[in-house]
Amino acid sequence: MEPFQASTATEQQRNRRHLWQDTMAQATQANAFDTNNSQIQVEHDKKRRQFVIRLNGSHDRAVLLYEYVGKKTVDLQHTEVPDAYRGRGIAKHLAKAAMDFVVEEDLKAHLTCWYIQKYVKENPQPQYFEHIYQ
């Protein structure tokens, strides 16, 4: 199947305008996201082994991925926040949820993700250190 191509200059302009409007709408949505809002909800998808924050009800999501590497050992591997939402403390909510999960389930954790390492260093909780492989 051929990719869609606008047949006239007017259609091309209209398509560019719609693309620009969609981009601006996404940027506006990202700017409106309030990270100080206590209603930020972190979902734990155990089946997919990830913690998720849905951003402004859109398809954008911030995620923290982990894997079991033993019966009682997890590897906190990767944290990702979309560019438009970075620098707002969103990853901190994911990191806290992941570390709380490790403590609550009495697991040991490898901190492969650099952000989780940073979070634990900046939020030194004794219960966290008891569950981290050094």
| pTM of the shown model | 0.72
Q: What is the pLDDT of residues 48-87, one digit of tens each?
A: 999 999 998 668 899 999 999 999 999 999 999 999 999 9
The per-residue pLDDT for 56 is 81
The secondary structure of the chain, three-state, reads CCCCCCCCHHHHHHHHHHHHHHHHHHHHHHHHCCCCCCCCCCEEECCCCEEEEECCCCCCEEEEEEEEEECCEEEEEEEECCHHHCCCCHHHHHHHHHHHHHHHCCCEEEECCHHHHHHHHHCCCHHHHCCECC
Residue 2's pLDDT band, with cuts at 50, 70 and 90, is: very low
Q: Is pLDDT at 10 greater than 90 in this prediction?
A: no
- Which domains, from first to last, does the chain contain? 43-129 (3.40.630.30)
pLDDT tens-digit readout, 79-126: 999 999 999 999 999 999 999 999 999 999 999 999 999 999 999 999
pLDDT digits (tens, 9 = 90+) for 27-48: 554 444 555 555 789 999 999 9
